[in-house]
Amino acid sequence: MTGRFSVLSSEPVVLDRLPLRVDPAEVLRFQGYKKPTDLPSPEVLALFDEALAEGERLMEPRAVYRAVGVRGQGPDRLEAGGETLHVPQIAGLWGTLEHVGAGICTVGQPLEARVAELFEAREFPLAVMLDSVGSAAAESLAEYVNDWLCQAGLAEGLKVTNRISPGYAGWDTAEQTALFRLCSGAPIGVSLNEACFMTPVKTISFLVGVGRQARVDHYFTQCRRCWMRDCAYRRAPAAVTVHR
C-alpha cells in the first residue's frame, strides 16, 4: 500500500478507494455509549446494523497529504511552509522535527446527502444513527491515514507522530486556514469557508510531525488500530483494525 510514496513528499499525494472499515465502537461512542458497561438495546443494535451497512456502502474515503520542512520550533510554535502554527506544548509533545505533514481526509458527500434525505423524511432515529456512522467513518479514516503514514515513515527511517487538528487540544480553529494553505483540500473536493467550516462536513484535517527524533510514545490510541503485522516498533497491541 505504501508503494513509492514518501512521507516527505512536497507534492500533494491523493489517496482514494481506501479499503476502510468503520470502527463500530466509534459509532456507539458518537451515540453516547462511552463506557464498556453502556450497552445498547436490541432495537438500537438493529438500527446500528442498518446504518453501519448503509454508511459503509455510501462512504467515499479519500485523503490528500503533503509535507513541508520545519524552519523553526518553539515550545508552542512551529514554523513550516511559510506558516507559523501556534500549538500548545507542541515541542514537549513531539520533540525535534525535520518536517510536518498536513493532511485532509473526507468520507465524501453521498453519506451526508442521505442523512439530509432521512431527516427530510422524518426518519429521525436512522438519520441520527447514520450521521454517527459518518462521524465514526471520518475518525476511522483519519486513524487509517495516520497509521499508514507511520508505516511509510518507518520504511524511510522516519518517525511520524500522532495527528492533531485545529480546534482540539488548545489549537485555535482559526489556524485551519494556515493548514489549508499547507495542504489544499481541492484535490479531494474539500473546501473551507470563512468561518473555518469544512465541506463535506465529515472531514478531518490534521497535522503530523515527521523526524528521526520525533516523539511517538505518548499518544494513547497509537498502534491500537494499525494492521501492520510484526511491526518491530509497535507500542500497543492491535485491538481492532480499520483496514479491510
Residue ranges that bind ligand SF4, judged by CB under 6 A: 147, 150-151, 154, 222-223, 226, 228, 231, 233-235
- Closer residue to ligand SF4 in complex, CB, 185/211: 211
- Closer residue to ligand SF4 in complex, CB, 132/222: 222
The total number of residues written for the chain in this structure: 244
Phi, psi of 216 (to 5 degrees): -130, 15
Sign of the Cα pseudo-torsion (151, 159, 234, 203, in order)? negative
Provide the minimum distance between the beta carbon of 166 and ligand SF4 in the complex, in angstroms, as a whole number: 23
In whole angstroms, how far apart are CA 195 and each of 35, 45, 164, 191, 192? 34, 36, 19, 12, 8
Provide the minimum distance between the beta carbon of 41 and ligand SF4 in the complex, in angstroms, as a whole number: 35
Burial category of 184 from C-beta neighbours within 10 Å (exposed 0-12, middle 13-18, buried 19 and up): middle
Provide the minimum distance between the beta carbon of 177 and ligand SF4 in the complex, in angstroms, as a whole number: 29
Provide the minimum distance between the beta carbon of 244 and ligand SF4 in the complex, in angstroms, as a whole number: 16
In whole angstroms, how far apart are CA 158 and each of 62, 166, 204, 207? 24, 24, 24, 16
- Closer residue to ligand SF4 in complex, CB, 31/151: 151
Which grid cell is 34?
462511552
In whole angstroms, how far apart are CA 44 and each of 29, 47, 48, 129, 166? 13, 5, 6, 9, 33
- Closer residue to ligand SF4 in complex, CB, 58/242: 242
- Closer residue to ligand SF4 in complex, CB, 132/151: 151
224 Cβ contact list (under 8 Å, min separation 6): 236, 237, 238, 239, 240
- Closer residue to ligand SF4 in complex, CB, 190/226: 226
- Closer residue to ligand SF4 in complex, CB, 9/241: 241
Residue corresponding to grid cell 473555518: 196
Provide the minimum distance between the beta carbon of 160 and ligand SF4 in the complex, in angstroms, as a whole number: 7
Which grid cell is 150?
507511520
Provide the minimum distance between the beta carbon of 193 and ligand SF4 in the complex, in angstroms, as a whole number: 33
Provide the minimum distance between the beta carbon of 187 and ligand SF4 in the complex, in angstroms, as a whole number: 25
User: Which residue in 135, 103, 131, 124 sits closest to 22, CA to CA?
Assistant: 135
